[in-house]
């Protein structure tokens, strides 16, 4: 091969500037032109958002009458993955934007950053003086443990009510198959709702330990059985509980016992999920708590729409789990493994 052919096949030298006209190395680049193109792009995005959707500068948001929250220095330390947060300071600012509808005043959530604090979790959550979230009449039921005759009178009253139900649906409570059914059902109902007699103090029973651990702790697939308070039929499923400790951990079995205590009541799944999360937050004061529940409701299977394959998923995130998208995503990804 002669030297001329080699010169022809030799690749051409790469230009000293990039071919992209937006590159600052390109001869035609100018700062004014780049700024003009950015302004045009912003104007086009803003015009497409409409009058009710405006871009928000998150740094400028603050609660009315208060200065903007300063940047937390601990967030700048890369060696620490999580920072300690309390329920009272889950959110430093309150997001105030125009609602899509005048009847809808719920604050919107900035995408990919955090979820706004729930307005239903700011109040004191657990009563340690006897019962946890007691209902009317449950205190009397708790006291009946020391008065067997009163407990027996309650059981007889419930048995009579069941007998009345059997009569109302056209059955004969005295036939052989139903003999003793009112009493058996009364005892079963008292067991189904035994969570009313329990409280968080006795369930935990001091099983909280000091431990230098600040990573996720997750207990998955806790079987849950409860009664729908709307139709008094069961809904069953699994609950997943996770938390990030703040120098204190709880015995793993206690997570399942807390779920059992609140599920053995007349419930709706949304409230059950939140009660478990708030109770764990009250006991441990952790950096964050997450509870996810998946269940099937027989009120949708045996009656009504009768959709046997339908499942319901609810979640409650508190602390770092609610505030940080990456922490929340880590928890959910571990659940899917």
- What positions carry a catalytic annotation? 228-231, 269, 297, 299
Q: How far apart (Å, rounded) are the C-alpha atoms in residues 202 and 161? A: 32
Angle, helix 252-263 to helix 269-284, in steps of 10 degrees: 140
CB 259 within 8 A of CB 224: yes
Q: What pairs with residue 234 in β-bridges?
A: 227
Angle, helix 181-192 to helix 148-168, in steps of 10 degrees: 120
Q: How far apart (Å, rounded) are the C-alpha atoms in residues 227 and 231? A: 8
3-state secondary structure 75-108: HHCCCCCCCCCCHHHCCCCCCCCCCCCCCCCCCC
CB 231 within 8 A of CB 303: yes
Identify the sign of the CA torsion 154, 155, 158, 164: negative
Which residues are CB-contacts of 324 (< 8 A; sequence separation ≥ 6)?
Answer: 82, 114, 288
Q: Exposed (0-12), middle (13-18) or buried (19+): which is 299, by Cβ within 10 Å?
A: middle
Q: How far apart (Å, rounded) are the C-alpha atoms in residues 239 and 220? A: 7
Which residues are CB-contacts of 255 (< 8 A; sequence separation ≥ 6)?
Answer: 219, 222, 241, 280
Token pair belonging to 154: 């309650």
Q: What pairs with residue 209 in β-bridges?
A: 249
Q: Exposed (0-12), middle (13-18) or buried (19+): which is 139, by Cβ within 10 Å?
A: middle
């Amino acid at each position: 091969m002669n030297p001329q052919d080699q010169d022809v096949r030799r690749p051409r030298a790469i230009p000293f500037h990039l071919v992209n006209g937006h590159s600052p190395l390109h001869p035609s680049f100018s700062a004014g032109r780049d700024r003009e193109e950015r302004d045009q792009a912003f104007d086009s995005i803003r015009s497409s958002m409409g009058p009710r959707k405006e871009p928000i500068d998150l740094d400028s948001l603050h609660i009315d009458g208060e200065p903007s929250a300063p940047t937390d220095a601990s967030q700048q330390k890369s060696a620490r993955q999580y920072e300690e947060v309390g329920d009272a300071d889950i959110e430093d600012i309150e997001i105030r934007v125009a609602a899509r509808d005048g009847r809808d005043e719920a604050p919107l959530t900035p995408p990919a950053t955090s979820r706004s604090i729930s307005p239903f979790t700011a109040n004191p959550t657990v009563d340690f003086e006897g019962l946890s979230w007691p209902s009317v009449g449950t205190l009397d039921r708790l006291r009946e443990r020391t008065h067997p005759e009163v407990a027996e009178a309650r059981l007889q009253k419930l048995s009579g009510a069941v007998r009345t139900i059997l009569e109302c649906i056209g059955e004969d409570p005295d036939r052989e198959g139903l003999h003793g059914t009112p009493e058996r059902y009364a005892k079963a109902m008292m067991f189904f709702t035994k969570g009313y007699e329990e409280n968080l103090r006795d369930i935990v029973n001091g099983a909280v330990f000091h431990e230098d651990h600040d990573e996720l702790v997750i207990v998955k697939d806790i079987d849950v059985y409860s009664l729908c308070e709307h139709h008094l039929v069961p809904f069953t499923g699994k609950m997943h509980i996770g938390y990030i400790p703040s120098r204190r951990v709880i015995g793993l079995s206690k997570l399942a016992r807390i779920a059992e205590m609140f599920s053995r009541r007349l419930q709706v799944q949304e409230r059950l999920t939140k009660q478990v999360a708030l109770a764990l937050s009250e006991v441990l004061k952790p950096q964050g708590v997450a509870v996810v529940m998946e269940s099937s409701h027989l009120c949708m299977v045996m009656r009504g729409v009768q959709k046997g394959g339908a499942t319901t998923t609810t979640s409650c995130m508190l602390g770092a789990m609610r505030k940080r998208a990456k922490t929340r995503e880590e928890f959910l990804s571990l659940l899917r493994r």
